[in-house]
Amino acid sequence: MTIYKGAARMVKVRPDGELQQTSAMTPSESIYVTVRGLQYHCRTWGNPDHRRLFFLHGFQDVSASWQFTVDALARGWYVIAPDWRGYGLSQFSGQDAYWAPDLVADLDVILDHFEPDFPARLVAHSMGGNTAALYAAAVPGRIEKFVNIEGMGGMPAPVDELPRRYGKWLQQLAQGTRQRPYMDFQDFAERMMAENPHLTPERAEFLVQHWGMKDEDGTVIRRADPAHMQVKPDIWRLDEAMACWRRIDAPMLWVEGAQSRFVNLMRGQPDGYEARLAAFQSLAGVMTVENAGHNVHHDQPEALAKAIEDFM
C-alpha cells in the first residue's frame, strides 16, 4: 500500500484500487435486477425483514457513496441503493445520451421489485432527488416520505441555446467522449479532496475504490458511461419541473449543505432557490447541515443519518 501526501492531509490508496471495506463498516451485498432490459446493480445493507429505505445517488456518483450514511443509522433498516443505469456496476445503456424520463421509469421498476406492497421511503441526492421528485409527482401515493438532498434541478438555459447544444452533441458523437483520466487511484483521491475540502482522507480512499476503475492505458477513470458527460440535445425546463413538484403529495424533508456552492449560487436569483423550494408544496421541513457542501452524505453522514431517522 502506497501513501500519498497532499496539502496537510494524507491518504492511503491501494495502487490497484482493490475494493475493500473496513471492519467498522456495515457490510453490503450486491443484487442484480433486470430493469427495462438492463442489468441494474443494487447495493443493499441490513436485514430484508426490516423496514425498507431506498437511497438514490446523484450525477457521477455510485451507490457505495451511501456507505457512510448507512454506518451512522441507529435503527434497523433494510437499505437498497441502486447504481443508476450507466454508473458503477450497472449496465451501460448503449445509447448516445441518458434521459431523465428513463431514470423515472427505472425507479418505478426497482420500487416494484423491492417494495411492491407498501408506499416507499426515499432518500435521494441531487440527480437522484430530481428523479425521485418527478416520480413522486407522477405516481401519487406511491411514496410515503421523501428526503431530498439538494435535488431542485440546475441552471436553465435560454431557448436560443438549443441549436448550439445540438451542434455540440453531434460533435461529441463524432469525436467520442471519455471520462477524465487520473494517473492512479491516489491522483483520483487527491482531486476529490481538492474539490471538496470537507472530504476526509479515509472517505476519499473508500470512494475512489468504488468510483474508479483501471482503463486500458493504465490510467484510472470513473465507473460511468462517458455518454453521461455529453451535452444533451435538449433544454431542461424549470417550469415543467415546478409543475411536477407542485403535485407531490408525499411529505418531503429538504436537506442542504451550509457551504453548498450549488444552493448558494441560486439564492436570490429569479426562479432560483426560494421559488423552487416554494414549489415543493408538500415540504415538511428544511435542514441546513453545517460543514457540508453539496455532497452532504460524504461530508456529514452522521447528521444526515439522524435527520433521516427523525423524519422517517
* pLDDT of res. 155: 83
Asked if 74 contacts 58 with a C-beta cutoff of 8 angstroms, the reply is: no
Q: From residue 289, how far is each of 148, 257, 300, 309 by CA, in Å?
A: 13, 5, 7, 15
> Poorest-confidence range of 12-21, 238-247, 262-271, 300-309?
12-21
42, containing H or E segment? strand 38-45
Q: From residue 258, how far is each of 29, 199, 263, 273 by CA, in Å?
A: 33, 15, 8, 13
Which domains are assigned to the chain?
2-311 (3.40.50.1820)
Q: Does 297 score more than 70 pLDDT?
A: yes
Q: Does 149 score more than 60 pLDDT?
A: yes
Alpha carbon distance 281, 286 (integer Å)? 13
* Residue 158, Cβ density class (10 Å: 0-12 exposed, 13-18 middle, ≥19 buried): exposed
For the residues 154-178, what does the mean pLDDT come to?
Answer: 91
Phi, psi (degrees; rounded to nearest 5) at 182: -120, 150
Alpha carbon distance 309, 312 (integer Å)? 5
For the residues 42-70, what does the mean pLDDT come to?
Answer: 97
Asked if 212 contacts 221 with a C-beta cutoff of 8 angstroms, the reply is: yes
Asked if 145 contacts 168 with a C-beta cutoff of 8 angstroms, the reply is: no
Instruction: Write out the three cell numbers for 266.
Output: 441560486
Q: Does 76 score more than 90 pLDDT?
A: yes
Q: Which residues pair with 53 in a beta bridge?
A: 79
pLDDT tens string 252-284:
999 999 999 999 999 988 889 999 999 999 999
> For the packed helices 100-114 and 127-138, what is the interaxial angle rounded to 10 degrees?
70
Provide the 10 A C-beta neighbour count for residue 277: 17
Which is it for the CA torsion 139, 147, 260, 103, positive or negative? Answer: negative
